[in-house]
Amino acid sequence: MIGIGAVYVFAGLVFAVIALLSAGDSGNPKRWANTAFWGLFALSFLAGDYLGDFGNGLLVLAMVLIAGTVGLGIGKNQTTTVQQRGTSARLYRNKLFIPALTIPVVTLIGSFTFKHIALFNPAQITLVSLSIGVIVALLLARVLLKQPIPAAFQEGRKLLDLLGWASLLPQMLAALGAVFALAGVGQAIGGLAAQAIPGGSRFAAVAAYTIGMAAFTAIMGNAFAAFPVMTAGIGLPLIIAKFGGDAAVMTANGMLSGFCGTLMTPMAANFNIVPAALLGLHDRYAVIKAQLPTAFLLLAANTVLMYALVFR
């Protein structure tokens, strides 16, 4: 049965190739640091189950040591020139979007259809569908755009070189959120919220959950880190258990509210600080300032939307 294990192997092999390409890049003064960092990350996917919690913890500490002391460098990727990309854009026009759009389309179709096929594990069908979508997109890029498969890995390495360790923040912060939830942070927040929220106010409970998701996301830098804490502290005991709300509606709107917090914070460095650096903006917080009005409007809309739908 194809499940999360196959996805981990696929991701591990991709990062292993990135590590090998980094090792062969003599133009990168820190190529061995890049090789070690992405090699250890690949190892976490390929052998994480065998390493155990202690082994994986040591692996993460080694990655932090590399990123915090030596640092990661930017190599000289074997990629196309600006002129070549311009030529491709004029030649293929809107066909360039087909491989990229294939990924969400295949993921959506697979999420609804693969669960009825015994070959796939229904519990992890979305991640499996996403992986299949990536593979299909690579093949389409090869057939439609005449791009060699190695070009995808070179471009992937280029992006990872630019982002560096910040590209791992979502995964690390999501893990930190799970640790917070196990440590009882959610229950502590829930106790405080129960005292502050008027006893029979459904709207107050919804607002506490959505605003709390945004605020905690802004602190943590990632909605996946905030989700288990706020859901355990406010969502489950108040919105669902006390007021009988719909779990699917609550979690969907809760994550959207958390993403509003992502737009507001420098802690979400890979979304808000790195792009400013890549664009060469003089104000490192320019992206956040531009997003703030949208973030507050979306948060208000999500709060109203959840209140209107979660108790139906």
**pLDDT tens sequence across 245-262:** 898 899 989 999 999 999
Q: What confidence category does residue 73 fall into, taking pLDDT thresholds of 50, 70 and 90?
A: confident
The better pLDDT of the pair 66, 186 is held by 66
Report whether pLDDT(82) > 80.
no
Distance CA 200, CA 69 (A): 53
- pLDDT value at residue 186: 66
The pLDDT, as a whole number, for residue 121 is 80
Mean pLDDT of 16-36: 88
Sign of CA dihedral 120, 121, 124, 125: positive
Give residues with Cβ within 8 angstroms of 66, minimum separation 6. 33, 36, 37, 40, 72
Distance CA 246, CA 122 (A): 22
Question: Could you give the count of Cα atoms lying within 13 Å of 308 in the half-sphere of its Cβ?
Answer: 6
Q: What is the pLDDT of residue 296?
A: 95
SS3 2: strand
State the pLDDT at residue 220.
79
* Average pLDDT value for residue range 64-70: 88
How would residue 80 be classed by pLDDT, with cut points 50, 70 and 90? Answer: low
For residue 177, what are its two tokens?
A: 């959120």
For the chain, the residue count is: 312
Distance CA 114, CA 109 (A): 8
What pLDDT shows up at residue 294?
A: 94
Q: How far is CA 211 from CA 123, 124, 303, 304, in A?
A: 30, 30, 8, 12
pTM of the predicted model as reported, rounded to 2 decimal places = 0.70
pLDDT band at residue 195 under the 50/70/90 scheme? confident
Distance CA(20)–CA(130), nearest Å, equals: 24
Mean confidence (pLDDT) of the chain: 84
pLDDT-above-90 percentage for the chain = 23
**Reported confidence tier of residue 87, pLDDT bands at 50, 70, 90:** confident
Q: Which residue has the higher pLDDT, 178 or 37?
A: 37
Q: Are 249 and 308 in contact (CB under 8 A)?
A: no
Note the pLDDT of residue 230: 86
**Position 163: which residue type?**
L
| 219, containing H or E segment | helix 202-220
Token pair of 238 as six digits = 């108040």
Q: Calculate mean pLDDT across residues 77-96.
A: 75
When pLDDT is cut at 50, 70 and 90, the band that residue 183 belongs to is: confident
pLDDT at 302 over 90: yes
* Cβ-Cβ contacts under 8 Å for 286 (sequence gap 6 or more): 276
Q: 2 has which bridge partners? A: 120
Which pLDDT score, from 0 to 100, does residue 199 have? 67
User: What tokens does 158 get?
Assistant: 């280029």
Contacts of 255 (CB under 8 A, 6+ apart): 213, 223, 227
